[in-house]
Amino acid sequence: MTVGRTEISPAELVRDVLVRLGWPDVAPGGVVVGPATDAQQQLGVVSIVQAGLPQIEDYSPLQWMRAQVRCLAGTLDAADRISFAVQRELHGRDRTIARMASTDQRYLVHQIRVTAGPSNHYDSQGTWEALLFAELMIGTEPL
């Protein structure tokens, strides 16, 4: 989403919250924006992308954005453990400053809600997925 000259990536903001404020070892394959390699998936990885168009507030510099959070692992149990940790870390988080790595800009995330998931899927031979969706209310002006 472009606001003025700045593109805001909810995926990058979620990644920053999970990596910087969360638990570094719950997903041994890492926390990535975009696709994960097969090796990362087998270890257990969190793969995050934007999900849908933002909802822009009419009278304040805020927008709601969604991120799809894929928790992938070689076993259903590992994918579940990762997804439950992600849900605990994100859901109900208020007033958090998060950094977009691509621009080095920081934004105030007023609220994060996990609005769907985890839902489990057999992703591919040998890989399981637990899928979550997170909604973020983001201040559109960089800090």
Q: How many domains does the chain have?
A: 1
Q: What is the CATH number of the domain that holds 30?
A: 3.30.2000
88 within a domain of the structure (yes/no): yes
| Within-domain flag for 30 | yes
Say how far apart CA 41 and CA 61 lie, in whole Å.
37
Predicted local confidence at residue 36, as pLDDT:
95
The answer to whether residue 79 sits within a structural domain is yes
Give the pLDDT means over successive 10-residue stretches in the chain (143 positions): 64 95 86 95 95 84 94 93 94 95 96 88 81 95 91
Whether 137 maps to a domain, the answer reads no
| Domain extent for 45 | 2-129
Residue 135 lies in a domain: no
Query: What's residue 6's pLDDT?
Result: 55
Task: Supply the pLDDT for residue 118.
Answer: 77
**What is the phi-psi region of residue 104: left when phi exceeds 0, alpha when psi lies from -120 to 50, beta otherwise?**
left
